[in-house]
Amino acid sequence: MTVDRSRTVLLVAILASFVAFLDGSIVTVALPALARELGGGVTLQQWVVDAYLLTLGSLMLLAGSLSDTFGRLRILTAGLIGFGATSLLAAFAPNAELLIAARALQGIAGALLVPSSLALITATFTGAAMAKAIGTWTAWTGVAFLIGPLVGGGLVDTLGWRWVFGIVVIPAAVTLVLVTRLPRDAHRGVDGDAHIDVPGAILGVLGLAGPVFALIEGQRIGFDEPLVIAALVGGLACLVAFVLWERRAAHPMMPLRLFRVRPFAVGNLATVGIYASVSLGTLMIPLVVQEIGHLPATVSGLVTLPTTLISLALSSRIGALAGRIGPRPFMTFGPLISATGFLWMLTVREPLDVWWQILPGVVLFGLGMTVTVTPLTSTVLGEIRPAEAGIASAVNNAISRVAGLVAIAFVGVITGGMLDVAGFHRVLVVVAVLLVLGSAVSAIGLRALPNLKEKPAATAPGSR
């Protein structure tokens, strides 16, 4: 593989994930504005976020299998086209119901992007080079996750909340152009016929949708309503059936054998606590700045800017360092630094002083996540065969999205149905506890460092 082509692969992987992560983060600062225009209050805000995470998280596993079967670029291209179209649908949605439906469709398209993009990296780079490439990928896709509120805030305050969805079409189109520079058969995964785990996909979607519906709608109509109880019980039953099916399916979309690889299992367990806390915390910060501090959406986005700068400056270096000495210290102390940042925000009182009560905590949060994320990703994928990189990436990303999905569904329960200072403090404590649990899992579970020797070179694009 030439240097130019490897750079193009990395750029495509970054931009494709950038699209999905940007959409997931940019919408947070628009939630108060769209709720004012469309109505629905907290319930609408939760559904706008969770409708996207629901389909994204539940179908990402299936997308990983498709990526390994049909080839990374084929699935990635389909995801980019679908994402652009559904983003426009969300931008022009005339009411809350159609907006929520458009967000669910966006999640389906987004599910095709992330595992394929990361699998491009793991199929192209090996050893320390892979760790460094993942660090670069993490830095720039992290920028999408963190800069989204800043860009979204500016759009909301100037052009309106609908532009928050429309702007995503631009990076999607740029990525599509770059994809044409790579061979069409590049990074094809498993040879042979396609095997689509339809029962697993259906059980996964229903298993997540039921509990999420129960948590969100239960706050509105009551947890003792038969519809809410049926959704919760039915969803949990589908989750149990999903695991049982995946154990015996000939071609499961979530191969449980992957969890026999210790770093993969530990990394995914740590992911649950870490990403549940990140999703919950990053959702609440822009809402608090706007609804408690009564500040413009632009300010709520500006508060997150230091985390973007930290990620850009350090992620690649952290990735390279973790590739040499192992991920355990980073995955242990990184979440603790982030937890300290959220605990700092317990100083929040009315009137809100965003630059003293919020900003220092956000800086600590950004530093901790920069220390954590690249080693975590490398741990999860470092000992997985290249042919299964797509599904392994999908499992980790699905777990992170599902963790965030469930955490956000609990927002109303934690805050007591209204966002005030006391409710925000309760959220901060929950976030800190989740981060400490993620740190503990890493410290205990990664007793032995993963094998850091060079893996056999992956097949170069266009060689098959």
Mean pLDDT of 243-265: 85
**Do 282 and 418 sit in the same domain of this protein?**
yes
Q: Are 132 and 81 in contact (CB under 8 A)?
A: no
Q: Which residues contact 145 (CB under 8 A, 6 or more apart)?
A: 21, 22, 24, 25, 282
Does any domain span residue 238? yes
* Residue of 52 and 186 predicted with greater confidence: 52
Distance from C-alpha of 284 to C-alpha of 265, rounded to nearest angstrom? 29
Shared domain for 98 and 229, answered yes or no, is: no
Average pLDDT over residues 234-252: 89
Mean pLDDT of the 154-166 span: 89
Stretch 248-264: mean pLDDT, rounded? 83
Residues 231-237: what's their mean pLDDT? Answer: 92
Residues in CB range of 124: below 8 A, 6 or more apart: 1, 6, 9, 10, 133, 187, 458, 460, 461
Confidence tier at 447 by pLDDT (50, 70, 90): low
* Contacts with 397 (C-beta within 8 Å, 6 or more apart), sequence order: 60, 114, 115, 118
Q: Convert the pLDDT of each residue in 131-152 to its tens digit.
A: 677 777 766 766 666 677 778 8
Query: Among 62-66, 176-180, 423-427, which range has the highest average pLDDT?
Result: 423-427
Does residue 125 sit in helix, strand or coil? coil
Does residue 148 sit in the same domain as residue 211?
no
pLDDT at 449: 47
Domain span at residue 222 reads 198-250
Residue 461: the pLDDT is 31
Is residue 396 included in any domain, yes or no? yes
Radius of gyration of the chain (CA): 21
Q: Which of 128-137, 225-234, 273-282, 414-423 has the lowest mean pLDDT?
A: 128-137
Buried-state track 84-112, b at ≥16 Cβ within 10 A, e below 16: bebbbbbbebeebeebbbbbbbbbbbbbb
Phi, psi of 125 (to 5 degrees): -110, 155
Between 407 and 117, the more confident residue is 407
Q: Calculate the average pLDDT of the chain.
A: 81
Q: Does 244 share its domain with 331?
A: no
Local structure of residue 456 (DSSP, 8 states)? P
The answer to whether the beta carbons of residues 102 and 55 sit under 8 Å apart is no
**Do the domain assignments include residue 105?**
yes
387, part of any domain: yes
Q: Is 339 within 8 Å of 435 (Cβ atoms)?
A: yes
Same domain, yes or no, for 143 and 258? yes
Residue 203 and residue 150 in one domain: no
Whether residue 350 is contained in a domain is answered as yes
Residues 302 and 411 in one domain: yes
Using a 10 angstrom Cβ sphere, with 0-12 exposed, 13-18 middle and 19 or more buried, the burial of residue 436 is middle
| Gap between the terminal Cα atoms of the chain | 13
Taking the CA atoms of residue 356, residue 306, residue 366 and residue 343 in that order, the dihedral angle to the nearest 10 degrees is 0
Query: Is 9 a member of any domain?
Result: yes
Tell me the per-residue pLDDT of 32-60, one tens digit each, with 9 for 90 and over: 888 888 887 777 888 888 888 888 877 87
Last residue of a domain, one of 230, 250, 270: 250
Is the pLDDT score of 251 beyond 70? Answer: yes
Smallest Cα–Cα separation from 187: which of 179, 195, 175?
179
Q: Is there a domain that residue 19 lies in? A: yes
Whether 16 contacts 63, CB under 8 Å: no
Stretch 322-334: mean pLDDT, rounded?
86
What is the per-residue pLDDT for 102? 94
Indicate if 170 and 215 belong to the same structural domain: no
Q: Which residue has the tokens 């805000």?
A: 45
Q: Are residues 139 and 213 located together in one domain of the fold? A: no
Structure tokens, 25: 């983060």
> What pLDDT is recorded for position 460?
31
Task: Report the 10 Å Cβ neighbour count for 220.
Answer: 15
236 and 266 inside one domain: no
Assign 451 a pLDDT band (cuts: 50, 70, 90). Answer: very low
Check pLDDT > 60 for residue 185: no
Q: Which residue has the higher pLDDT, 180 or 341?
A: 341
Q: In the predicted model, is pLDDT for residue 130 greater than 80?
A: no
Mark whether 77 and 208 lie in a shared domain. Answer: no
Structural domain count of the chain = 2
- Mean pLDDT over 262-288 rounds to 89
CA distance 297 to 14: 27
The pLDDT of residue 86 is above 90: yes
- Examine the domain organization and report whether 228 and 179 are in the same domain: no
Q: What is the CATH number of the domain that holds 34?
A: 1.20.1250.20
Closest CA to 327 of 281, 282, 255, 270: 270
- pLDDT tops 80 at residue 1: no
